[in-house]
Amino acid sequence: MTQRRTLLALLGAVFLGPVFLGPVFLGTTLLLAHASPQAGPPTPEHHGPPWRLPVASTQTFTIAGSTLQVDFAPGSLDLSTPQVMQWVENAATAVATYYGRFPVPRDRILIVPTDDRRGVMQGTTWGDVGGFPAFTRIRLGQHTIVAGLTDDWMITHELTHTGFPSQEDEHHWIEEGLAVYIEPVARVQAGFLTPERIWSDMVRDMPKGDPQPGDQGLDQTHTWGRTYWGGAQFCLLADVTIREQTHNKRGLQDALRAIVRAGGTIDQNWSIEHTLKTGDADTGTHVLEDQYKRMANAPVPIDLEALWKKLGIIRTETGVRFDVSAPDAAIRAAITATPTSGRITAEP
């Protein structure tokens, strides 16, 4: 979730690798921060802003002309620096592949080792702090193994936040919903996941975003499920609808790329109306604007079962299989297809 004018990171929900799970975030001067579901342990020895934590070593790499600085806070990790860097570079590759470029020209990622713990524990992303357009802090357990990085979704989720302008608090669902939806799709496009895996997880987990009794729409209902899963449902429906209206020539990905090209990244504060209008202008539709008007202040259930059937996604005992004869089977395939611009990789 997002909080403005404060240095707080709150809990919420995200797509777990391709499993929807939970999320969290801040900013200064109307800035916004985004974080992952698990709250990591406090660092009592440091009371300033996270971007002023001490740094023990620094690595850098470039991707599509953007420079990413990876700092390591003092502490011990069983993993080698190259292993951690590969994890970060893979996440940046996925994000850059989805957007056609890395969203911001400069980004800083701070890896904070956490003693006697294992796994990727918590991440938070801020816009326009510490001299960088974007800054991400990731807490990494001391005893994390390579498999823990391979299966991780969190850092890709966090870097995805760089590609959307900061919104007012009531629109936090669009920021989180996008990160939840884009993260697994981007990882498929970059070759790190299979389409079967992420569609299986969507079928299982998307219902968590359904409106519950008393729901007053996405702008008014700030529950965990509606903020993350409801936001993800909005994105999925928008993606499919844009592709239906454009005969599969354009999709949500094109709208989001247009927003980034227009300067709509995490270090900027845009109204949701301007943001969605910018995306719609690229696709030649009014899908984002119309869908927002319908869903912002009223509960709008999405018939997910009908949507899966239309996309040709069929449940099996082990996951899903695809029906290529389904009406929107080509749309389902296009959503996860590697863009014509190809996979964008990191360089030292």
What is the chain's length? 348
258 and 311 part of one domain: yes
> What is the gyration radius of the CA atoms in the chain, in angstroms?
19
* Contact (Cβ atoms closer than 8 angstroms) between residue 158 and residue 36: yes
Within-domain flag for 176: no
325 and 220 part of one domain: yes
156 and 234 part of one domain: no
Within-domain flag for 76: yes
pLDDT in tens, 260-290: 999 999 999 999 999 999 999 999 999 999 9
* Contact (Cβ atoms closer than 8 angstroms) between residue 30 and residue 50: no
Within-domain flag for 168: no
Count of CB atoms within 10 A of residue 340's CB? 6
Within-domain flag for 8: no
Residue where a domain terminates, one of 163, 181, 210: 163
* Sheet strands side by side (includes 33-35): 33-35, 120-129, 132-141, 106-114, 66-72, 57-63
Among candidates 60, 67, 55, 8, which has minimal Cα distance to 34? 8
137 and 198 part of one domain: no
Residue 272 identity: I
- Full domain range(s) for residue 57: 15-163
Within-domain flag for 275: yes
Tokens found for residue 325: 């004869």
For residue 122, what pLDDT is reported?
Answer: 92
214 and 316 part of one domain: yes
Query: Distance (Å, rounded) from C-alpha 90 to C-alpha 102?
Result: 12
For residue 203, what pLDDT is reported?
Answer: 98
Among candidates 331, 96, 98, 338, which has minimal Cα distance to 236? 331
Q: Which residue's structure tokens are 């975030």?
A: 25
Tokens found for residue 149: 């990085």
* Contact (Cβ atoms closer than 8 angstroms) between residue 163 and residue 223: no
Q: Which residue's structure tokens are 């326009």?
A: 128
126 and 26 part of one domain: yes
240 and 325 part of one domain: yes
Among candidates 23, 24, 28, which has minimal Cα distance to 4? 28
**Total number of domains in the chain:** 2
322 and 229 part of one domain: yes
113 and 198 part of one domain: no
Q: Which residue's structure tokens are 């270090």?
A: 267
For residue 47, what pLDDT is reported?
Answer: 72
- What are the per-10-residue average pLDDT scores of the chain (348 residues)? 30 36 34 48 65 97 97 98 98 98 98 97 95 98 97 97 97 97 98 98 97 98 97 98 98 98 98 98 98 98 98 97 98 97 92
Query: Distance (Å, rounded) from C-alpha 207 to C-alpha 211?
Result: 9
For residue 232, what pLDDT is reported?
Answer: 98
Tokens found for residue 199: 């569609």
217 and 324 part of one domain: yes
| Residue burial 181-204, b: 16+ Cβ < 10 Å; e: rest | bbbbbbbbbbebbebbbbbbbbbe
Within-domain flag for 1: no
For residue 34, what pLDDT is reported?
Answer: 60
Within-domain flag for 148: yes
Give me the helices (H) in 6-138, please: 81-99
234 and 129 part of one domain: no
Give the mean pLDDT of the chain: 89
Within-domain flag for 9: no
148 and 37 part of one domain: yes
Tokens found for residue 307: 């949507």
Query: Distance (Å, rounded) from C-alpha 69 to C-alpha 136?
Result: 10
